[in-house]
Every structure is written in C-alpha cells, then in structure tokens.
Chains A and B, each alone.
Chain A
Amino acid sequence: MCGVGKTLAEKILSVKTGGDVRPGDTIIAGIDLAFVQDTTGPLTIRQFEAAGFTHLAEPQKAALFLDHAAPSPNRGLANDHELLRRFARKTGCLIYDVGEGVCHQIVAESLARPGDVIIGADSHTVTAGGLGAFATGMGSSDTAVAFALGRTWLRVPESVRIEMKGRFSEGVGAKDAILSLIGQIGADGATYQALEFGGDAVAAMSLSSRLTMANMAAEAGAKVGLFPSDEITRDYLAEQGRAEHYRPISPDPDAEYDRVINLDVDSLEPVVARPHAVDNTAPARELKGTKVQQVFIGTCTNGRLEDLAVAAGILKDKKSVVRLIVAPASRRVLLVAIGAGYIQTLVEAGAVVLPPGCGACLGVHQGVLGDGEVCLSTANRNFKGRMGNPESFIYLGSPATAAATAITGEITDPREVI
C-alpha cells in the first residue's frame, strides 16, 4: 500500500521544492543557510575561488565560524583565521569570531528556523534538526558551490522513526538515549537515512536535549536527525528573541517509514561509549573501576546551559579528583551560566574553563591527552586519536556521568552520587 503521508524530511523538502518529493528522488533545493568552520572553511574558500566565483548568492545566508581552533594555537591556524576574516569582509557574509562559540550552538541560538534547509561543512550540522530544520553536513566543495549558487542537490532520504515512550528518570538524559540507540543500531545503522524522533517522551523534551540527540544522528551515519517543531520549539525561539521564526511542523500520521524503532525511555540508564567507537556502548555501572585522568564537559553535544546546570548540580560543594575541563558551547551559554552561579560552582570544584568553542574535542589545542591516558568526555566522538593522541582512550557519556566521574576519578553511574 502506498500511503500519501509524509515524514518530517519529506514534508520539509516538499515545501522547499514546491513539489511532492519521495525517498530516492534527487532534487535541487534552495539553501536557507550554508556555513563553514575554521578547519573546513579555508578549503571552501579555495574551492570557491578555483571555480571562479566572486560573489555569494545571498551574503546573509552564508556564515563563517571561528570555533575549532579558537583562539588559534599556532601560526598556520592563525593565518587560516585571517583568510576567513578577509573572505567575510570581501563578500559581506556573516562571521562569528573567536569566543562566540561552537557553530552548531550559534546556528541553533541565532540562525536556524523550523523548515529551513541548512548545509554546513561540518558533520554535526545535523544538530539544527532539533529545531525541525533539514540540516546536513557536506564537504568544502559542496559548501563552496552552495555559497555561490544558493542551492545544492540532495537525495531525499528514507526515514527511520524513533518512537520514544516514557519519562527520563533522575540521572538519565538525552545523551544516554542517543548513545543507547547508537549502541543498538550501530555506527552505520542509519547511513543515508533520516532519523525522525517522536513519541510522548519527545513532547516533554527540552530543546537543548533535542539538540543533543539530533547532533549525534551523525554518529549513526544519518543524513539528518529531525524533531518536530512544537510549543517547546516556539518557546525556545522566543527566548532567543526570534519568536517570529516559529513554524509548527509535524509528520503526517500515515507517513511511511523504512522502519520504526521503539526506545523505552523509562528503562534507560546511564550509558557510556567505550574506545574507540561510538557504538561500543555499555551501562556506566559496568565500567566502574575504569580510572580516568581527565573529564571534559562541553562541545556541540553537551556544552549547553542545561548540561552545565546538571554538572554544577552534582559538583556543588564537591571536588574533582582529576583534571576537569569545561568549555561552554557559546558566549551566551557562558554568560547565563555565570549569572546562574554554575561557573562559580564548577571552578570551585576544580574546573578549568575554556573559552566558548570546541575546546578539547578535536585535539588541536588545550586538553590533548598523554600516552595511555583516559578521558571521560561529553562529546560525540571517541575515535582513536580524536583528542590529539592515538595512544589515548576516550569514553563518552552524559554531563551527569562526567560530573560523577570527576568526583570519584573512575567511571561512575551518576545515580550513585546524586
């Protein structure tokens, strides 16, 4: 039976192209935002120039972010930053300089609208799916062409519905849900597909938690990770001072999915991904006894206010017994976290606070691990060498697990300390 209903991905792309798109169709879609960051941007600019382009289709729909190596750790990257700044002056595009924060966080706070088509030269561009935007990562060449033409080609993906039922219990959150899902379906479990999150648990999830889950859709190989746009989206946009960007979007009840996966939120427990693969998951309690030398709280996955609040709640009047590094996802997050006292609490617990940005996530500057060292990180990737040293080991967990681990010095189920 061929239904007429559309999934979120099909709905957004149909509206965008003014047609009736179906999975497998190849379409050309107008772009509402194309962006690069400081490690993919220089190649984008070179490709843009190599193609002979001089102008952007629409400067206000192109953005550059200096976040991955910010402030710059060396001369090569400092020169790359200059290249990006010059490009911004010349073309009039948006630029977010050192200290503004991680691209995906700023896109969520300031730029993405429900129903937008967004491409970024960064795989975690999918984060904006938490707001109901069809946002997907591409490379530098594709982004260079999107800058110039204002459009790109896309294959309409099949959708996988993640039906989330129940309520999160204390100490368990969005990170545990997405790690648990990836552990179940594997790092290539949704390659080329759209992950669509729904169910009663989603209706109760904060926008921040939705961004965390959409962000890690990339770790299952998905093209996008989409949430509906509802009152929670509306309130978030209003809080960010852009209520006018709200548009409700939901999938049709008779939409057709490649498959439906049930995620029972009630029975979730804290989950950790072990080195060197995100789908190598285990319950945090089973890893008790695994000593760590560093805990890192931050990134586009878990560097938001909600995450810092959880970590500060657990670390209040406690001391970290290991190196504790905190990188707020954006300047806005940092400022609110200062106002709320979270930064004070974290610093009193022994944290080093890095400037808003990617921080220790990708191993180009502060927070590189030593040989044989182990880190519990709230990031989205634990590939070998990810944090700058292929002889080190990265475990991924939630902000609650990270804070609990900082207190004990070994991987700890946060329910033991709260």
Chain B
Amino acid sequence: MLRGRAFKFGDGISTDHIVPGRLAHLRSNLPELAKHVMEDADPTFAARVKPGGFIVAGRNFGLGSSREHAALVIKLAGVSAVLAQSVARVFFRNAINQGLPVLICDTARIDDGDELAVDLVVGVVNDITNGNKLYFSRIPRVMLGILDEGGLIPYIQKYGDFKL
C-alpha cells in the first residue's frame, strides 16, 4: 500500500518539463539533478514534494525524449507513483525499469492536495479526501515482474533474461 499527497499537473507534461535538456551536464550528478525535478512545469514542486507523494497528471505524461533520467529523478525525489490519464510509451517503460509504478486511471477525479492510498495488488486508488475509488488499467505481465523486483537491473540479475 502506497500512501501520500497528490501533486496535480496538467496534460502533455514532457520530459523537458521533468528534466530539461539544458541540465544535461548534471546527468552524472543525480542528487543534484533531482533538485530540479519538474522544474519547467512547477518550479516549486521539488521543494514541496514529500517522500511518498504522487504525481497526478492528465494526458500523455512523459512525452518527448527517451531520457530515463526523467523517471529516475521522479523516483529520487521520493515520489511513490505517477498517476495519469495516459502515459507516453518510452516513459512508461523507463519508469517501470526504475521500479516506479505508473498507473493509468481517471485522474480528473483527484484534486491537488488530496490524500491517496494506492493498492497495487488490487489495482485501486483510494482518494481518502473525497472518498473516490479509481481502478487503474492492468500493467502488462512482464512489466509487473520487473516492478516486483524493483526495476529491470535487479530483475535481470535475478533471472538472467526476460521471462514472458
């Protein structure tokens, strides 16, 4: 069970919003890079986010570049999951590979600041503030396996190959 506060964002949050290309020189200094997470979407987010918090976005979250740093810094910032109406494919894969759950659900029913509890096993988001229950779409099996191990690298270390 994951628990934390919702931080709301709109549609079309790109990897440039999440970690701008101009910060490429910080990519080998991840803690420093994480201080800039979501900077071009909300410059106050990095300072406000608390461990366990959720990014709650609209459509097509994570579009743009294939930089895995986007998923990585969100995880480093302590975010426990990304909830969105839809997610760009490379970001989706990168997040799972980093052990960051990405849940597709009707985020319009969540307000900024709501307290959420997410049950990954049952597949439900409980919005404690307004009492809504949102069911999210099934994550493909191979990805669930990767998520279970905390990411692709630990998964490969354990199994040595992909298990379909």
Contacts and interface: CB of A to CB of B under 8 A. Distances in A.
Interface stretch (B24-32, B75-83, B105-113, B114-122): B24-32
A389 B98 CA distance: 28
A139 interface: yes
A42 B68 CA distance: 11
B89 A383 contact: no
B70 to A, nearest CB: 9
B24 to A, nearest CB: 5
Contacts of A383: 14, 16-17, 64
Contacts of A69: 24
B66 A385 contact: no
A389 B22 CA distance: 8
A153 B60 contact: no
Contact of A153 (B59, B86, B98, B162): B162
Given A26-B140, A40-B66, A155-B140, A77 B89 contact: no
Interface residues of A, number: 57
Given A47-B153, A188-B60, A141 B68 contact: yes
B140 A43 contact: no
Contacts of A120: 66
A39 interface: yes
A188 B24 contact: no
Contacts of B20: 363, 385, 390
A381 B64 contact: yes
Contacts of A52: 157
Contacts of A141: 68, 94, 97-98, 151-153
A191 B156 contact: no
Interface in A360-411: 362-364, 368, 381, 383-386, 388-390
Contacts of B52: none
Interface residues of B, number: 44
A54 interface: no
Contacts of B3: none
Contacts of B97: 139, 141-142
Contact of B69 (A43, A76, A149, A153): A43
A385 B89 contact: no
A37 to B, nearest CB: 10
B27 A188 contact: no
Contacts of A176: none
B14 A40 contact: no
Contacts of A188: 59-60, 63, 86, 88
Contacts of A144: 153
Nearest to A38: B24
Contact of A79 (B28, B59, B88): B28
Nearest to A279: B12
Contacts of B90: 123, 137-139
A291 to B, nearest CB: 24
Most chain A beta carbons < 10 A, residue from B25, B93, B151? B25
Nearest to A47: B153
Interface in B86-104: 86, 88-90, 93-94, 97-98
B140 A385 contact: no
Contacts of B22: 362-364, 368, 385, 388-389
A40 B68 contact: yes
A299 interface: no
Contacts of B40: 384-385, 390
A277 B63 CA distance: 11
B17 A384 contact: yes
Contact of A187 (B26, B60, B66, B164): B60
A42 B140 contact: no
A145 interface: yes
Most chain A beta carbons < 10 A, residue from B26, B90, B141, B161? B90
B161 A149 contact: yes
B31 to A, nearest CB: 14
A205 interface: no
Given A28-B162, A51-B156, A364-B21, A221 B67 contact: no
Contact of B25 (A50, A76, A125, A155): A76
A81 to B, nearest CB: 11
A192 interface: yes
A122 interface: yes
23 contacts: A26-B142, A43-B68, A43-B72, A73-B25, A77-B25, A80-B28, A121-B66, A122-B65, A122-B66, A123-B66, A137-B66, A153-B164, A221-B88, A362-B22, A364-B22, A368-B22, A383-B64, A384-B40, A385-B20, A385-B21, A385-B40, A388-B21, A388-B22
Closest 4 CB pairs of A and B: A139-B68, A139-B94, A362-B21, A76-B25
